[in-house]
Amino acid sequence: MLHRSKVGNYPSEQMVTLDQIQELLDRGKENESDKREQISADAYIVLDSLLLPMDTAVADLKEVNISEENGRFFANGRSIAVKGLPDGVVRVTAGSAKTFIGVGEKNSQGELKAKRTLESLQPQ
């Protein structure tokens, strides 16, 4: 039997078993009645609360924060000039809220180039 006490930045206190997730969904289904849509939505709200922020997987990378406008360019694959850009892969955030938008690295011209971006941030 294997018991994980920690995986990267994910401590065991935050881990949830598949059985626990299934129990939450089953509870939502058991309570379905006239308020079916509301109860189902409540079950998914609980499940959503178990999710960690997307950038926890890359929390150990150096952060580069760019403007929201440059964030849109970055998300669309455009290279961005950034002063003091470190070498290697970086976690990229945008705006004063420091919204995680992807990971990037310095290209041969010394600009920030996207490696992976969040699709939801792509321009409409």
> Within this chain, do residues 40 and 88 fall inside the same structural domain, yes or no?
no
Is there a single domain that holds both residue 17 and residue 46? yes
User: How distant is the alpha carbon of residue 59 from its chain centre?
Assistant: 10
Percentage with pLDDT > 70 across the chain = 81
Give me the number of domains the chain comprises.
2
Q: Are 90 and 103 in a shared domain?
A: yes
Question: Where are the alpha helices (H) located in 50-113, listed in sequence order?
Answer: 68-75
Same domain, 24 and 63: no
Report yes or no on 3 lying in a domain: no
Q: What is the pLDDT of residues 40-68, one digit of tens each?
A: 666 677 777 778 888 888 989 999 999 99
Same domain, residue pair 22 and 40: yes
Q: DSSP code of 81?
A: -
Query: Are residues 92 and 104 located together in one domain of the fold?
Result: yes
State the residue range of the domain holding 32: 13-51
**Does residue 84 belong to any structural domain of this protein?**
yes
3-state secondary structure of 41: helix
Task: Judge if 20 and 35 occupy the same domain.
Answer: yes
Residue 11 has pLDDT above 50, yes or no: yes
Q: What are phi and psi of 12, to 5 degrees?
A: -60, -25
**Residue 66 is part of a domain; what is its CATH number?**
2.30.130.10
Average pLDDT, the chain: 82
The residues with which 19 forms a beta bridge, in sequence order, are none
In a shared domain, residues 45 and 23? yes
